Chain A
Amino acid sequence: MKITGVKINYYHICHTKLWLFSHNIALEHEHENVNIGKLLHEERYSKKKKDITIDNTISIDFVKQRNGVMELHEIKKTKKMEDAHLRQMLYYLYYLKKRGVEGKGVMNYPLLNQIREVELTPDGEKSIEEDIRGIEEIVTGRMPHPKRMRICPKCAYFEFCFCGEGNED
């Protein structure tokens, strides 16, 4: 199974979303926040060569060399899902390390004027390996029944998950 950065990200947000996305039930294209993210991605850092795709599996927003260290950069709109975003970056670092390239990660929040550095530790590596196993288990299984969380109303899958008129869960 191809594990993309988005799957790692979704694994830490919602398993139903992960399952639907992995089964090509994409709903993000209509969602306002996604379009804002897309614009942000296209407009900011416009001089950098962007979207470095490796093995058709991971896609890094942009890459920089600083003091002989390779920096992987990821652009995010807000810190709301920070944990999931950091995992996504850890996974990129892990993926490249497996291919013999070491570097560090930098999260860019242009709208907040903040950056945050991320480094891959042995613990981090272990947790990514657990993530990968967890994702494989979910995606090959049955669709996880949606559970209502506080973040649900902001999700592109909200209407899909709770389209039934009698759903109170």
Chain B
Amino acid sequence: MRTDYYILQDGILKRKQNTVYFENKEGKRALPVNKIYSVYAYGKLSFSSGVVSYLSKNGIPIHFFNYYGFYEGSMYPRETLISGDLVIQQASHYLDEEKRKSLGRKFIEGACSNILKNLRYYSRNRDDIQESMDAYIDSIEAEILCLPESSSSIPQMMNVEGRIRNIYYSALDEIFPEEYRIVTRTRRPPGNKMNTLISFGNSLMYTTVLSEIYNTQLNPTISYLHEPFERRFSLALDVSEIFKPIIIDRVILKLVNKNMLDDNCFRGEIGDMLLSEKGKKIFLQGYNDKLGTTIKHKGLKRNVSYKRLIRLELYKLSKHVLGDEEYKPLVMWW
């Protein structure tokens, strides 16, 4: 199984024959090309065209994040998996208003069901906040119910989704200790610790999904919930919605509740808060562990990792557009 490779430091990627090395003042490390799935570059990275062509040949994308940990772009290797039929079907599901809305709604439903799973866990296990959790759960459920009726347009669905997310964040504020309250969601720059963690996590999620899409025949620019022109690879945004509560939110809950983060994990001040190198390292470790966690899959009857679940979700989507089986979003059953 190939794994992701995270580079947090500044340095140079060099190719020497068929080996790629990461080099900086502190030393030189070889990148095991056959074992790498994708590279996540958080530091300043210099590299030659030889490295680019070699990684491309091996189908390894490099995702770049800037100084602040925000996603900047990807070196996305030439597509080798192309199925004209699939892409045409994918596009026809965008062009047909009803088909598009049906898929868009499923992404929202999936995301919300997973959000509810997270909240129910705390309702079950924390007597002190059980009552208020139940109230949040009820109001999210009420919003989900108006999803089918308000489905006259995608923007209206997005509004429902936005309201649900706001309720969810208020609920999380009760779970998290005071210094980790979200209060209001702020981006670019995130205003406080929790906003920083959410932003960092969401851009990671987006890139992981993008890497998975690269390994399927799906076209990453044709999306349903988000507009294809919103960002370059908007299908990754659609699919991320399902996985953010399952992966990112639960990584954050673990890091905070287990007190794994301290003040050295952050830099900047309130209003302009970012993860420090130490913070990024801890987050990435937690994230990578989560991706590697396995559960028994009901359809396959074998253990699959969380990361593999993303791929399976893309297969489900492919089968939907091919007309084989209706897409049902992944809802945590565990």
Query: Which residues from chain A sit less than 8 Å from chain B, CB to CB?
Result: 23-26, 29-30, 142-143, 145-146, 153, 158-160, 162-168
Closest approach, in angstroms, between the C-beta of A141 and any C-beta of chain B? 11
**Least Cβ distance of A61 to chain B in Å?**
23
A-B contact number at CB 8 A: 65
Find chain B residues with CB under 8 A from A164 CB.
299, 316, 319, 325, 328
Task: Indicate with 1 or 0, residue by residue over B297-323, a CB within 8 angstroms of chain A CB atoms.
Answer: 111101000001001110110110011
Point out the residues of chain B lying under 8 angstroms from A25, CB to CB: 83, 86, 217, 318
Q: In the complex the two chains form, is B302's CB within 8 Å of A167's CB?
A: no
The answer to whether A158 and B300 have CB atoms under 8 Å apart is: yes
Does B225 touch A at the CB level, under 8 Å?
A: no
Chain A min CB distance to B14 (Å): 28
Complex Cα distance, B322 from A132, in Å, reads 24
B299:A160 contact, CB within 8 angstroms: no
The SS class assigned to the B binding surface is loop
CB distance from B177 to the nearest CB of A (A): 35
29 A–B contact pairs at CB < 8 A? A23-B83, A23-B85, A23-B322, A24-B82, A30-B215, A142-B323, A142-B324, A143-B322, A143-B324, A145-B324, A153-B302, A158-B300, A159-B315, A160-B315, A160-B319, A162-B300, A163-B312, A163-B315, A163-B319, A164-B299, A164-B319, A164-B325, A164-B328, A165-B297, A165-B299, A165-B330, A166-B299, A166-B328, A167-B298
C-alpha spacing A162/B215, complex, angstroms: 18
B297 CB contacts on chain A under 8 angstroms: 165
Residues of chain A lying within 8 A (CB to CB) of residue B82: 24
- Name the A residues within 8 Å of B319 (CB-CB): 143, 160, 163-164
The 4 closest A-B pairs by CB, nearest first: A24-B83, A163-B312, A167-B299, A163-B315
Residues on A with C-beta less than 8 A from B142 are none
Given A30-B215, A165-B297, does the pair A23, B86 have CB atoms closer than 8 Å?
A: yes
Beyond A23-B85, A164-B328, 9 extra complex contacts between A and B, CB < 8 Å: A23-B86, A24-B83, A142-B324, A143-B319, A158-B300, A162-B300, A164-B319, A165-B330, A166-B328
Q: Are B86 and A24 in contact (CB-based, < 8 A)? A: yes
Cβ A24 vs Cβ B315 within 8 A:
no
Complex formed: what's the CA distance from A100 to B248 in Å? 64
Give complex CA distance A142, B324 in Å: 8
Residues of B within 8 A of A163 (CB): 299-300, 312-313, 315-316, 319
How far, in Å, is A169 (CB) from chain B's closest CB? 10
Question: Could you tell me which residues of chain B, from 146 to 181, have a CB within 8 Å of some CB in chain A?
Answer: none
Bound complex: CA A163 to CA B299 (Å): 6
CB distance from B328 to the nearest CB of A (A): 7
B81 near A26 with CB under 8 A, answer yes
Contacts of B324 in A (CB 8 A): 142-143, 145-146
Does B333 belong to the interface (CB within 8 Å)? Answer: yes
B27 within 8 A of A: no
Output the nearest chain A residue to B311 by Cβ-Cβ distance.
A159
Report the separation of the CA atoms of residues A168 and B299 in the bound assembly, to the nearest whole angstrom.
6
CA distance A117 to B299 in the complex (A): 41
Task: Please judge, given known A-B contacts A23-B85, A24-B82, A24-B217, whether A145 and B325 are in contact too, CB under 8 Å.
Answer: yes
B249-291: contact bitstring with A at CB < 8 Å (1 yes, 0 no)? 0000000000000000000000000000000000000000000
State the Cβ distance, B91 to closest chain A Cβ, in Å.
Answer: 15
- CB-defined contacts of B217 to chain A, threshold 8 Å: 24-26
**Complex alpha-carbon distance, A107 and B169, angstroms:** 64
Give bound CA distance, A159 to B322, whole Å. 16
CB neighbours (8 Å) of B302 from chain A are: 153
Complex CA gap A26/B85 in Å reads: 12
CB distance from A23 to the nearest CB of B (A): 5
| Minimum Cβ distance to chain B for residue A110 (Å) | 24
Tell me the smallest distance from the CB of A159 to a CB of chain B, in Å. 6
Q: CB distance A162 to B299 under 8 Å?
A: yes
What B residues does A29 contact at CB under 8 A? 81
Q: Which residues of B contact A24 (CB under 8 A)?
A: 81-86, 217
Complex Cα spacing A165 to B323, Å: 18
Contact residue among B83, B311, B322, B333 (Cβ-Cβ distance under 8 Å from A165): B333
- In the complex, A168→B312 CA distance in Å? 16
CA distance A30 to B215 in the complex (A): 9
Most buried by B among A24, A142, A158, A163: A163
Task: Report B299 CB to chain A, min CB distance, Å.
Answer: 4
Chain B neighbourhood of A143, CB < 8 A: 319, 322-324
Q: Measured between C-beta atoms, what is the minimum distance from B182 to chain A in Å?
A: 31
Complex CA gap A159/B299 in Å reads 9
Is B315's CB under 8 angstroms from A165's CB?
Answer: no
Say how far B37's CB is from chain A's closest CB, in angstroms: 11
